Structure 1
Amino acid sequence: MSNIEQLPVKGTSERPAPRRIMRPCEWGLLSTVRDLETQMGTVEAYNRLCDAAQRLKAKIDAGEAEAQHKMWATDPNFIYPAGDR
């Protein structure tokens, strides 16, 4: 009973890594950033994004952060229904 051996394990995977999950709001964000840069230029778009990030950080630091919606939290099967992967 004291002779314990580890079974051989293949430490690599044959399948490709899954694609990054893109939620619907991210497409809107990408479009908004593109429109912002088109209308204001790259530098001013960057400045506006930094201002927005600063406001979000202040909200987090004040303890007023919001949790993500449960529908998008951890269930990739909802985000990528069967057959869409």
Structure 2
Amino acid sequence: MSNVEQLPVKGASDRPAPKKIMRPCDWGLIVAIRDMETQVGTVEAYNRLCDAAQQLKAKIDRGDAQIQNRLFATDPKWIYPAG
């Protein structure tokens, strides 16, 4: 029992990571952030994004979170195919 050896383990996946799904709202957010940064500057844009994130977190904590629109829902089996 004292001759226990660890078997060799491959610690990486053979499959490449899936590409991030870009939805229309993602493109709108990118453009909105770019425009906000142009108008008020990077620091103020960051401050406003932090304020918006804090408001969303408060909404979630209150239990008022919205569910995802089924039109944009994705199947994890499609994103991460087994094989």
- Residues 14 and 31 of structure 1: CA distance in aligned 2, closer, same or farther (over 3 Å): same
Count matched residues. 70
| Percentage of pairs with the same residue | 69
Aligned to 1:58: 58
Question: For 1:65, what is the secondary structure of its paired residue?
Answer: coil
Which sits farther off after the overlay, 19-28 or 66-75?
66-75
Q: Structure 1: how far apart are the matches of 2:58 and 2:45?
A: 20
**1:9-51 CA distance string (max 9 Å, x none):** xxx7766433110001100000000000010000000000011
Q: Structure 2: how far apart are the matches of 1:14 and 1:61?
A: 39
Aligned to 1:70: 70
**One-letter amino acid of the structure 1 residue matched with residue 43 of structure 2:** V
- List gaps (5 residues or longer) in structure 2: 1-11, 77-83
Aligned to 1:32: 32
- List gaps (5 residues or longer) in structure 1: 1-11, 77-85
TM-score of the pair, normalised by structure 2: 0.69
